[in-house]
Amino acid sequence: MATLENPTVILPRKPQGAFRNEPFIDFSQHENARAMRGALERIGDELGHEYPLIIGGERVKTSAKIESLNPARPAQIVGVHQKAGAEHADQAVQAALKAFETWRFTPAEERASLLLGTADLIRERKFDFCAWLTYEVGKNWAEADADVGETIDFLEFYAREALRLAASTPPIQYPGERDELLYIPLGVGAVISPWNFPFAIMAGMTSAAIVSGNTVVLKPSSDSPTIAARFMEVLEEAGLPPGVVNFCPGSGASFGNAVVAHPKTRFIAFTGSKEVGLDIHERAAKAQAGQIWIKRTILEMGGKDSIIVSADADFDAAVAGVVASAFGFSGQKCSACSRAIVEEPIYDAFVERLREKVEDLKVGDPTGNANLGPVVSEGAMKTILSYIEIGKKEGRLVAGGNAIETPEKGYYVAPTVIADVAPKARIAQEEIFGPVLAVIKARDFDDALAIANNTEFGLTGSVYSMDRTKLDHARRSFHVGNLYFNRKSTGAMVGAHPFGGFNMSGTDSKAGGPDYLYLFTQAKSVGEKL
């Protein structure tokens, strides 16, 4: 094992050409389906292992544990993890602070090489990582592949971005001077990642931080710590020095809050609920004794996303886009369509076609690649079902509306459509984070836009229309961070669709975009008189 005194050497690895998104796996090909089934069998034999905390490169065990469960088969333990408490927060921050003193001066080429080497290892083991995602959070094969592919994309993209920033120059050279513009790291950061993209978002925030020269205390969601532990293994294999990333699953109320409040924590990168994000923002804003900086928060906090369907839209494409956006990964995406806003002339026909398509969806164990797998936990299932009961009173139940019992007692909710919902109804305003779609009738396109903008969120949105005037109007007036025309509202691609939202959807961080690494750095101007 590498130590601070004998660090692992990062072998030089330069980007191979311009950035390109990782291609998706075609599971209709026999050899790919066979490889996925083989990975599920192989990883199935590895379930239930115990993983330590990793603080400063040292393995730490605790008396309290976190058990990660397979939501399709809750009796099956995916991984057993140590539960970091408030008493571990200072240890983790101090380890990260010690590592920062050397990592901050590591050349950008070496930091980028670490990310590129990690991407290579993940690419080689893509099917295995897909299998871990299927077991730990219930993703079907395509959703798991998209998560792994986005992880590789983030690593490749941010490596190139770090090299670009390292070569930055000021806009002009003042006569008689040598002028420089240096993007230097911030310091120790807390990365608090979600369970719904437990690989891509966790790895994306972590890799952006460390390739910029920062060090990290990583607290993954307690619903998905195993995939983060596996990521740590790959980082170390690629040459991660001790203390640069400190792996600490734990309670948000104890460990997470302690790290956020720590005076040596310089920034917090968070993806999760609005309520937790606002709490982190408030705690970070309060200066602690010995704190000498204003903490930076990088927050992505969810949405209540709408797809507008105009009367002139490609009808079949719009139905398919709404179904894919609303029910992919059982609606457990911050970008998921939870509101279909349909113009009056086609409303009744659209609702009927929607019902037909949703009733064709197959719900089942994701190892068998059903359209929809389980929701992530029993608590999530109960919350979703409670919203469905509210929705039955606020609109007309068209499809679903119930839990689905299985012999394994998995956490399944039928894909649910509720029509005739008022724009200000609770299920049209509150984030449900499950397979529940509210359908709202709009008088015309202007009315549809007004409804789309009537929530406190502003993350993603789509418009289906063949009218260029309407699309131009939406481009100006639909107030979301990620807007799509004639395509689904989910599936942002790194580089092409920098991701982040407005209003209560967060700080518009634009992950996977050309300005994301600026959030993890500070600009230092140096002028030398010649």
Among candidates 129, 125, 121, 187, which has minimal Cα distance to 155? Answer: 121
Please give the single-letter amino acid code of residue 477: S
Q: What is the CA radius of gyration of the chain?
A: 23
In sequence order, what are the residues at sequence separation of 6 or more whose Cβ sits closer than 8 angstroms to the Cβ of residue 116? 13, 14, 15, 155, 156, 159
Residue 393: count of CB within 10 angstroms of its CB: 10
Report the half-sphere exposure of 240 (CA within 13 A, side-chain side).
28
Distance CA 507, CA 502 (A): 7
User: Active site includes 248?
Assistant: no
Among candidate residues 130, 248, 334, 337, the one labeled active-site is 334
Distances (CA, A) of 142 to 70, 135, 296, 512: 18, 14, 35, 21
Among candidate residues 156, 300, 394, 431, the one labeled active-site is 300
Calculate the CA dihedral of residues 216, 220, 225, 226 and round it to 10 degrees: -50
Q: Report the DSSP pairing between strands 305-309 and 337-343.
A: parallel
Beta bridge partners of 397: 418
Coarse DSSP helix, strand, coil percentages of the chain, rounded to the nearest 5 percent: 40, 20, 35
Residue 50's φ and ψ, nearest 5 degrees, are -100, 140
Tokens of 395: 């609109």
Distance CA 371, CA 349 (A): 24
Residue in the block written with tokens 């998209």:
146
Distance CA 200, CA 154 (A): 8
Distances (CA, A) of 275 to 431, 470, 480: 11, 34, 20
Distance CA 499, CA 512 (A): 7
Please give the single-letter amino acid code of residue 189: G
Residue 477: count of CB within 10 angstroms of its CB: 12
Tokens of 168: 């930055």
**Which are the catalytic amino acids?**
300, 334
